[in-house]
Structure 1
Amino acid sequence: MADSLITIGVLARASGLTASALRFYDDCGLLTPARVDPLTGYRYYTEDQRERAMLIRRLRAIEVPLETISEILSGDAGRAERMLDEHVGELKRRAVAAAVVAESIKQTLAAGDRVAVPAWLLAEAFEQVRAAAASDREIPVLAGILLEASGNSLTLTATDRYRLSTRTVVSRDRQGGDWSLVVDGGELAPVVEWLRSLDEIVAAPTDQGLLLTGGSSERRCRVIDEPFPDYRVVLAGLEPVRTRVLTERRPLLDVLESASPTVRFEVGPTGLTVAGSHLPATVTGSAIDLFFEVTTLLPAINTALGPDLMLDIAAAGHPVVIRSATDGDLTTLAMPANG
C-alpha cells in the first residue's frame, strides 16, 4: 500500500489546492490522509482522494461553506444539486467574472518573471495581511508586505512582531523563476480599490518596484529594499496545540468592538467567555485563560475569512494561531498580552 500513496505536495499540485489548505481540511475532518507518519508527521494520500480534493477546490472557488461541502460530498445527488443551486443563487455577481480570463489584459509584458492571479482575490489578500503590518516606520520593512512567487502560488505575509498574517493565492498562470519583494503597505489603499474593478491581474517584479497590469491600465507599488524577517522559522517553531476553539466570527467581533483595551479570554468545557460575554464555541483540549490587547486581536479577527474561526492555543505567553474555519489559506498569529 505504501507504494500507492502520494505526498501532500503531489496532491497539492494535482488538485490545485495549497499544502496549507490540505492540512486545514485534515484538521477539519473533510479530507483526512490515508496515513500520517508517526515520526515525521508527513501526510500521505491515496490516488482516490485526488478527485475529492479537486471537488473541494472547485466548491471553495465559489465559496461554498465548509459544512455545506461535507453535506454535498456525502449526500445523495439530488440533495447535492439543490444545495448547489441555492448557493449559486447568492453568487450571481461573480458568475460573469468566472468566464473572463486573460482577454482583459491589454498590455503584454516583456519576457520575464510574472504571475497572473484573480484581481479581486489579490485585493482581498492584501487587505487581510495588511492588518498585521506595522503602522509606524520604526522598522521600515515591518510596514511592508512580503510577496513570494513560487510554484503555482503567490504568498503574501506581514508582521509587526505582535501579529503575523500569511495568505497563499493559487495563480492562474506563471512564467519565469521564483521571486520575492516587499511592497510598502502604507501605499496600497488606492491599489486595492483599483484591483476590485478588474478580473485578472499580472504581477511582475521590476527595477522600479512591483508592476501590476490589468485591463488597459497599470499600477506600480514602491518596494522596501530591506530583508524581511524569516516568518517560516516562527511558524516552524510553534509549540504543539493543546487547546482548539471553534467559534463564530461575528459575535466575537461584536464583543471586541465594544471591549476595553485589554480583554480576557476564558476557554473552558462550556465554551468561550470574552470580556465577560459567553460565546458559543466548541472546545477541545485543556481549559486556559488568556489576555489580549484589542488593538492586536481585533484586526486579526476582522480580516479573517468566512463566518467561523478556529483558534489553536499552545500555552499562555505563546502566539495563538487564528485560521478561518472555511478556508485554510489565511493564517494569523496573535500574541497574547501579560495578564
Structure 2
Amino acid sequence: MADDGLITIGALARACGLTASALRFYDDCGLLVPVRVDGATGYRYYSEAQVDRGVMIRRLRGIGMPLEVVAEILDGDGARAERLLDAHVSELARRAREAAVVARVIKEEIGAGVVLPAAVLSAAIEQVRAAAARSREIPVLAGVLVESSADSVTLTATDRYRLSTRAVVPVRPSGKAWSAVVDAGGLGGIGSWLQGLAEVSVRSAAGELVLTGGGSERRCAILEEAFPDYRAMLAGLAPVRTRMVVARDALLALLEDSAPIALVADRSGLSATRGGQFEYGSPRCRESQANEPQRIPASVTGADLEIAFSPRTLRPALVSAIGPEIMLDVAAADAPVVVRSATDGDLTTLVMPTAIANSK
C-alpha cells in the first residue's frame, strides 16, 4: 500500500481476482483507470473503492460480455444495466441452442459410420466371404477385412488359395478412415436382414462391427489379428500373358463334381478336359483316365496356355462373379489367376491353379 492509502496494482489484482496484465489492459480500455501513476517509475496505484469495480468487470467478462457493454453496465443506471444483462443472457441461450444442434449433427455423422446401399453390401458380403478360410488354423483367415475410406468400402477375404476383394461406393462416406477384420461366420447371417433395407450404416465400435438400419442393428465380432497385406499380393502379380473371356455357365457345368479340370487356351479358343492327372505346365489328361476334350464358348488373347484347376477353388469364384461372361487373366500355369466379371470390375478374385502329380 502506498503512503497516501492507495494500493498497488498487484494488491488490487489479488483482491479482485484479476491479473496485473488484465488490469493494465482495462486501464488502456478506460474501464478501470488507476487513481495515480508514478511519473518516474510508471507504477499504477488504485483506491480500495476500485476493488468492487474490478470484481464486477471480472464477473461480466466471465460470462462473455463485450467490453463496450461492460462499460455501459458499469457507468449506466440500474434499469439500463438489467436490460443489457437480460439481452446478453438471451443471446447466450440462443447460441447454446444452435451449438447443441450442430453438435448433435456432428455426433450423428461421426457415430453413424459409412452409409451403404444395403442390397449391394449384401451381395458383396456373399461374394467375398466365400474366399474366407473354413478352418480356424489361422484365425484371421476366417475373417473378412472391411476397410472404409473417403470414397469406398472394400471387403476382402482369402484362404491362401483364393482371394476375393470388392469395393462398394457409399451413399454417404464416413468422417474418418477405419478398418476391421470381421468373423466371416458372423457376416453370413445378415444377408436376409440387409435385403429388407434400402440403406445401412456401418461402423466399427468397441470390438464389433455395427450395422444399423430400419430401426434395428446387427453386430459382428472383430478379430484382433492383422490381416495379410493383400494389396502387396495384387501389386506383385506377374504381367498377364493370356486372357480368356468365357461363358460362366458353360465353365460351371464342367465343375459339378470334384474332378479337376484342365483348360487349353490357344488361337482357336478354349477346350476343357475333366478327370485326368495333371501337372503344372502340362495339364493335359493322361492315358485312359482322360475324358474327351470339350469346347467352351470363349475368346482367347495372348500366348497359348495349358492350366488346371480344382473345382473347390475355381467354382466359388465363378458362382460369386457377376454377369454371364467371366474374364480370366493368367500370367503362368503355376501363378494366381485373376477372375473378374467381363463387364463389372467391382469384384476381383485370385484363384490358385492346381498341380496334381502324374501317377503311373
Given the superposition, is the C-alpha separation of residues 264 and 304 from structure 1 closer, same or farther in structure 2, using an over 3 Å criterion? same
Identity %: 52
Deviation at 1:199, TM superposition (A): 0.6
Could you tell me which residue of structure 1 aligns to residue 170 of structure 2?
171
Deviation at 1:110, TM superposition (A): 7.1
8 Å Cα contact 1:152/1:174 also seen in 2: yes
Structure 1 residues 264, 123: CA separation in 2 closer, same or farther (over 3 Å shift)?
A: same
Give the CA deviation at 1:320: 0.5
CA distance in 2, matches of 1:169, 1:190: 20
Cα shift at 1:175: 2.6
Q: What is the CA-CA distance between 1:115 and the residue it aligns to?
A: 0.4
2:261 is matched with 263
8 Å CA contact 1:145–1:158 kept in 2: the answer is: yes
* Equivalent position of 1:181 in the other structure: 180
* Aligned partner of residue 256 in structure 1, secondary structure: coil
* Structure 2 Cα separation of the partners of residues 282 and 159 of structure 1: 28
Retained in 2: the 8 A contact 1:113–1:176? no
Partner of 2:348: 331
* Residue deviations 1:93-132 (CA, integer Å, cap 9, x gap): xxxxxxxxxxxxxxx9573371001000000000000111
CA contact (8 A) 1:309 1:323 kept: yes
Q: Does 1:290 align with 2:307?
A: yes
Which letter maps to 2:351? Answer: A
Structure 1 equivalent of residue 278 of structure 2: none
Say if 2:150 and 2:174, in contact at 8 Å, map to a contact too.
Answer: no
Distance 2:341 2:109 in 1: 38
Listed one character per residue, the Cα deviations across residues 128-160 of structure 1 (whole Å, up to 9, x for unaligned) are 001111011000100100000012100000000
Give the residue type in structure 2 aligned to 1:215. G
How many Å apart are 1:261 and its aligned residue?
A: 3.0
Deviation at residue 284 of structure 1 after TM alignment: 0.3
Cα distance in 2, alignment partners of residues 169 and 152 from structure 1 = 9
**CA distance in structure 2 between the aligned counterparts of 1:282 and 1:111, rounded to whole angstroms:** 49
Task: After TM superposition, give the deviation of residue 208 of structure 1 in Å.
Answer: 3.5
What is the Cα-based RMSD across aligned positions, in Å? 1.4
Label 1:113 to 1:200 Cα distance change in 2 as closer, same or farther (>3 A): closer
Correspondence for 1:98: none
Which of 241, 260, 272 is 1:274 aligned to?
272
Structure 1 171/110 Cα, relative in aligned 2: closer, same or farther at 3 Å? Answer: closer
Q: Which string of whole-angstrom CA distances, capped at 9 and with x for unpartnered residues, describes residues 254-274 of structure 1? A: 11114x432111111121122
Match for 1:249: what amino acid? R
Counterpart residue number, 1:36: none
Kept in 1, the 8 Å contact 2:148–2:154? The answer is yes
Residue identity opposite 1:292 in structure 2: F
Instruction: Report the AA paired with residue 333 of structure 1.
Output: L
Q: Which has the higher contact order (CA 8 A, sep 6+)?
A: 1
Rounded Cα–Cα distance in structure 2 between residues aligned with 1:322 and 1:334: 7
Number of the residue aligned with 1:92: none
Structure 2 residue identity aligned to 1:211: V
In structure 2, C-alpha distance between the alignment counterparts of 1:239 and 1:110, rounded to whole Å: 42
Residue of structure 2 equivalent to 1:129:
128
State the partner residue of 2:221: 222
SS in 2 for 1:218: strand
Query: Does the CA contact (< 8 Å) of 1:113 and 1:177 recur in 2?
Result: no
Partner of 2:3: none
Partner of 1:115: 114
1:156–1:167 CA contact under 8 A, matched in 2 = yes
Aligned AA (2:195): R
Contact 1:146 1:180 in 2 (8 A): yes
Q: d(CA) in 2 for partners of 1:117 and 1:185?
A: 19
Q: CA deviation at 1:176?
A: 1.7
Q: How many Å separate the matches in 2 of 1:270 and 1:170?
A: 39
Distance 2:133 2:174 in 1: 32
* Preserved CA contact (<8 Å) 1:112 1:176: no
The answer to whether the 8 A contact 1:120-1:199 is kept is yes
Distance 2:132 2:238 in 1: 23
Alignment match, 1:142: 141
Larger Rg: 2
| Structure 2 unmatched ranges of 5 or more | 1-106, 274-292
For normalisation by structure 1, the TM-score amounts to 0.66
The question of 1:310 aligning with 2:308 is answered no
CA–CA separation in structure 2 for the residues paired with 1:194 and 1:256 = 31
- Distance of 2:316 and 2:248 partners within structure 1: 12
Classify the secondary structure of the residue corresponding to 2:271.
strand
TM-score when normalising by structure 2: 0.62
**Counterpart AA for 2:121:** L
Residue deviations 1:195-252, cap 9 Å, x none?
1111100001100400000111100011111100000010000000010001111111
Q: Secondary structure at the match of 1:251?
A: helix
Alignment length, in residue pairs? 231
**Partner residue in 1 for 2:238:** 239
Pair 1:319 & 2:336 matched: yes
Question: Quick one: structure 1 residues 323 and 110, their matched pair in 2 at CA, closer, same or farther if it must change by over 3 Å?
Answer: closer
Q: Residue in 2 aligned with 1:250? A: 249
